[in-house]
Amino acid sequence: MPFELVPPGTHIDFIGKRRVAATISIALLLAGAIAVFVNGVKLGIDFQGGTEMQVLFEDQVDVDEGAIRSAVSACGIEDSSVIRYGEAAGREFLIRFQAGEVATAGGDGCPLTPEQKEALERAKLSGGGGGDEGEKGETIDKLAYALGNAIGRLEVQRVEFVGPRVGSELRSNGLKSLLVACILILMYIAFRFSVRFAPGAIIALVHDIGITAGIFVILGLEFDLRVLAALLAILGYSLNDTIIIYDRIRENMELRTKFDLVDVLNQSVNQTLARTVLTSGTTMAAVLSLWILGGEVIRPFAIAMAIGIVVGTYSSVFIASPTLLFLERRFGGTSAAVGPASEVAASVRREAPPRRYAGSSKAKRRKKKRR
Amino acid sequence: MSLRWRAIWVIATVVLFGYYAVANIASEETRLESPLIPDNALRLGLDLRGGIHWVIGVKLGATEDHELSFLIGLLEDDLERDKVVVGKIEVVDHQLRIETFTDLARDAVREWIGDTEQLVEVGDDPELLTFELSELRRQQVREQGMSQVLEVLRRRIADPMKGIPDSVVTRQGDDRVLVQIPGGSLDRARAREMLRVTGFLEFKIVMDVAQTEELLRAKYPDGVLPENTTVAFERDKETDRVLSAYLVGVEADLTGDYLTDARPGFDNQQRPQVDFTFNPAGGELFQSLTEANIGEQLAIILDDRVYSAPTIQSRIATRGTISGRFTVDEASDLSVILRAGSLSVPVVIEEERTVGPALGADSIRRGLRAMIVGLAVILSFTTFYYRLSGFYASAALAANLLILIGVMSMFEATLTLPGLAGIVLTVGMAVDANVIIFERIREELRAHKTPRAAISTGFSKAFWTIMDANITTLGTAIVLYNYGTGPIKGFAVTLSIGVVTSVFAALVITRLMFAVYPGDRHVESLSI
């Protein structure tokens, strides 16, 4: 006997639990929405603009957040946040601040390197020269030097700076990309399946993005480009799940002339359940190994993906198919379930492109040849 | 296609791409030296390799102002010549504003403006005439500004000879430049200094000249040059052959720092020349320099290279000309170089992503570890769950990974940290296609079909499901690619290629293995 996670003949009444599922989903979405008002949406520097510095102090240096914070504010940067980062036994820190100005005079707290003094002199002599291109960069170099002086030897491992213009562009383009992806998906489903299938998929997608983003807000995690990439990947992933179930629904509809839509939906979800569970499992395994082993820089991506996989899997089973049912009952016609369902089937047959099984026709040809 | 040919084709594909993938282990030198190892390999993104990634915004508004200021200079000269009296002339908000008091002056100004064909009048205050650059001219000016900045930055950073190895300067959109400087070769402070310096343009009075350095040195006892002098060469642009050797002072008499503009023009006999403008301070220096050296040659040196050494004809103040036997193209090239030497367009760093080499190496290590562990878990689970078929799927997954990396290597795609994450994710999702097929086959077996029939139906029924699911994923990846910047693009790239290779692995490679065994044999049961 093959090893089976989901035993054959499993028949869980997923569709019957649609009200429970809808309640849970709406509750989660609401919680997310409330959290947006209560916690506010935390934007990373990608979307908000700002500077981020990852520094690693050398082995023997005794350092904590407070020391760094005071050294940073001695340089005239008041709104900095300093957090421990990475795994280097508490010697690695992430310093973040809004693009601030460093006191150029080089006061006691924020000393300048000889080269910086020289550069400053030169800048004064040539009357500003090339303009203000170096300000932010200088802030970082000065800060690194000041930290080195005040605390101990360190290495700047990573610097990210996003100016306000780039930040707002990334923000609006990011939202645009989510929208464009949704529209493309809608069009593809309308083309491959039926216009009636598309809203269910879209609702599932909006649901996934909404809940994943909501959980991010509730947990107080930050949105940045990595998270956006994960959200788009979740779109693709969740859709994958939904399409596979839809595909089965369509197939089951074509097999029979008369059926009850609820039955067909339930049957389809159950038939694909093993696949749903397995694929979620393997994808989750990959994402978890990224989460645990991939390091700090990639972790936000992995966290968003992991949440998204759970939500996406849940939505394909509990949201996408019931939405189909809901829409059919509401807009599909007035008679009982049987009527609109066969209508769906008819529309599927009408609108779907002819199903060519490339594989099977080739197989037939091969068989003929061999004979 | 017969089974044999199919097998040969598939194996050849896997071997070819696998070869490209594995060749990444070899160092770059070995790759380039050995005729057996392909030269193409994955490029590491700056976030893995370490390096500086800058998006530099070019303030093109300043270029417009600059153009207007240049016109003001000409206008003032002409008005002075024609004895037309006007009030203050200034540039405000990219507009040229001229205070006028009489209709005569207004007409003169309007006529002059009309002749330039570069400005259009806006506003209707007769006391204060306001002009803007015409749309066409504005575009031209902005384009010129962009090419100037690109030229300077390329010369300073990405020059194949003198620049930083492997660094890249590319235009991004209307008013941005992307600068990528790979790690280790330069620290941030020095890189920034390269943006800052105004130019390496120098003016030096020529003390002596000869055809070669030897001939020049021969003029002096024992070939020892006078104190505080050095030799600068004029070289042929193509061949780099020395055309002339000039004896000049070590210190420049004047530098490009004072240059505000240079553009091609014509003298009164319509011979091409280059007109240049100094700022007031430079003008004073230049005036006294030229006054003292009429009849001498003035070497114009850019990046230690003499571009021309015209003879000083007269005292020159803020605006001067460089005449020589220029062609029109040469004159315009030289003016570009002069302008390029002085980065007159202000630039500002709008985005920076810098990663130290140590962190980059650490990211690679962690990424690989995550990939290997993820792969191991998935392979062992799949083999355990589907047994022989699972082993097929595992082999296909391994081949998939090889092909994915091989394709990326062949096209020299850039691998970033998110890209690495994309590969790990692909590993997780790639099994999906096989799971769909295998679950289908199991279903068919449960419906009491023979293994052979079950395999055939399983594959054919799963075909469009797999296609639909993957085409949509590909769609989102492409959207991401179009939107993404830098490293995120790398994620989209690996995800898209991964989708294609996964489908290939499941539908072609796994299928082939089933065709080999059980194939046409009448097996009683299937290990699935």
Among residues B4, B312, B340, the alpha carbon closest in space to that of B144 is found at B340
> Quick one: pLDDT band at residue B334, thresholds 50, 70, 90?
low
Residue range of the domain that includes B95: 63-129
Same domain, B375 and B427: yes
> Quick one: pLDDT band at residue B485, thresholds 50, 70, 90?
low
* CA A316 – CA A236 distance, rounded (Å): 12
> Quick one: pLDDT band at residue B194, thresholds 50, 70, 90?
low
CATH of the domain at B316: 3.30.1360.200
Among residues B430, B416, B330, B419, the alpha carbon closest in space to that of B375 is found at B430
* CA B178 – CA B57 distance, rounded (Å): 9
pLDDT of residue B343: 67
Same domain, B371 and B479: yes
Residue B418: inside a domain: yes
- Tell the residue number behind the tokens 């393997």, with chain if given: A282
- B258-295: string of b/e by CB count within 10 Å (b at 16+)? bbbbbbbbeeeeeebbbbbbbeeebbebbbebbeebee
- Tell the residue number behind the tokens 């040809």, with chain if given: A365
Query: Mean pLDDT throughout B447-466?
Result: 91
pLDDT of residue A351: 44
* CA A310 – CA A270 distance, rounded (Å): 18
pLDDT of residue B383: 94
pLDDT of residue A361: 45
Among residues B407, B404, B392, B375, the alpha carbon closest in space to that of B499 is found at B404
pLDDT of residue B200: 61
Closest chain A C-alpha to B464 CA, distance in angstroms = 8
pLDDT of residue A91: 84
**Chain segment B151-193, per-residue pLDDT in tens:** 888 876 776 655 677 888 899 888 999 988 887 655 676 677 6
Check CB contact under 8 Å for B418 and A229: yes
Of A138, A239, A359, the CB nearest to B472: A239
Q: Is the ipTM of this complex over 0.90?
A: no
For residue B354, the Cα-to-chain-centroid distance in whole angstroms is 16
* CA A200 – CA A268 distance, rounded (Å): 15
Give alpha helix (H) positions in B295-416: 328-341, 357-410
Strand partners, B298: B205
* CA A248 – CA B299 distance, rounded (Å): 80
* CA B401 – CA B494 distance, rounded (Å): 11
Query: Mean pLDDT throughout B427-447?
Result: 91
The answer to whether residue B315 scores a pLDDT higher than 50 is: yes
Same domain, B322 and B362: no
Domain boundary among B94, B129, B164: B129
Percent of chain A with pLDDT over 70: 77
Query: Mean pLDDT throughout B459-471?
Result: 90
Same domain, B242 and B363: no
| Mean residue pLDDT across chain B | 85
Check CB contact under 8 Å for B431 and A156: no
Same domain, B276 and B237: yes
Q: Amino acid identity, residue B9?
A: W
Same domain, B96 and B41: no
The answer to whether residue B318 scores a pLDDT higher than 70 is: yes
- Which domains, ranges and CATH numbers included, belong to chain A? 15-43+166-358 (1.20.1640.10), 50-162 (3.30.70.3400)
* CA B285 – CA B253 distance, rounded (Å): 9
Six-digit token string for B452: 């052979």
Check CB contact under 8 Å for A285 and B374: yes
Q: Are B113 and B97 in contact (CB under 8 A)?
A: no
Closest chain B C-alpha to A117 CA, distance in angstroms = 13
Radius of gyration for the alpha carbons in chain B, expressed in angstroms and rounded: 34
Per the model's pLDDT, the better-predicted residue between A217 and A124 turns out to be A217
Cα-Cα end-to-end distance for chain A: 34
Which residues, at least 6 apart from A280, have a Cβ–Cβ distance to it below 8 Å?
A241, A309, A310, A313
The single-letter DSSP state of residue B66 is H
pLDDT of residue A207: 92
pLDDT of residue A110: 60
* CA B225 – CA B248 distance, rounded (Å): 10
The answer to whether residue A106 scores a pLDDT higher than 60 is: no
Residue B347: inside a domain: no
Q: Which helix (H) or strand (E) holds A314?
A: helix A299-315
* CA A72 – CA A102 distance, rounded (Å): 9
Same domain, B72 and B40: no
Same domain, B430 and B296: no
pLDDT of residue A189: 84
* CA A7 – CA B229 distance, rounded (Å): 91
> Quick one: pLDDT band at residue A360, thresholds 50, 70, 90?
very low
Which residues, at least 6 apart from A50, have a Cβ–Cβ distance to it below 8 Å?
A96, A97, A98, A99, A161, A162, A167
Same domain, B90 and B212: no
Domain boundary among B312, B329, B346: B329
Check CB contact under 8 Å for B385 and A162: no
The full length of chain A comes to: 371
Among residues B458, B492, B459, the alpha carbon closest in space to that of B473 is found at B492
Characterize the bridge pairing of strands B298-302 and B201-210. Answer: antiparallel
Same domain, B317 and B460: no
Q: Which residue of B has its CA nearest to A141?
A: B189
> Quick one: pLDDT band at residue A104, thresholds 50, 70, 90?
very low
Residue B397: inside a domain: yes
Residue B384: inside a domain: yes
Per the model's pLDDT, the better-predicted residue between A59 and B303 turns out to be A59
Domain boundary among B96, B129, B162: B129
CATH of the domain at B480: 1.20.1640.10
Residue B341: inside a domain: no
Of B55, B347, B439, the CB nearest to A131: B347
Same domain, B486 and B385: yes
> Quick one: pLDDT band at residue A118, thresholds 50, 70, 90?
low
- A29-50: string of b/e by CB count within 10 Å (b at 16+)? bebbeebeeeeeeebbbbbbbb
Residue B249: inside a domain: yes
Of B362, B371, B479, the CB nearest to A180: B479
The single-letter DSSP state of residue B266 is E
Residue B522: inside a domain: no
**pTM to 2 decimals?**
0.76
Q: How many domains does chain B have?
A: 3
Helix (H, G, I), strand (E, B) or coil at B302: strand
B480, B491, B499, B510: best mutation site toward chain A, by most A Cβ within 10 Å? B480
* CA A46 – CA A272 distance, rounded (Å): 39
* CA B206 – CA A36 distance, rounded (Å): 71
Same domain, B75 and B217: no
Residue B15: inside a domain: yes
Angle ∠(A210,A216,A221) on CA atoms, nearest 5:
150
Of A2, A131, A282, the CB nearest to B346: A131
**Chain segment B72-120, per-residue pLDDT in tens:** 888 888 888 888 888 888 888 889 998 888 888 888 888 888 888 888 8
* CA B507 – CA B460 distance, rounded (Å): 10
For residue A107, the Cα-to-chain-centroid distance in whole angstroms is 44
Six-digit token string for A109: 């707290």
Closest chain A C-alpha to B137 CA, distance in angstroms = 24
Query: Mean pLDDT throughout B448-460?
Result: 91
Name the strands in the sheet holding B319-323, side by side, starting at the edge strand that comes first in the sequence: B259-266, B272-278, B319-323
Closest chain B C-alpha to A322 CA, distance in angstroms = 20
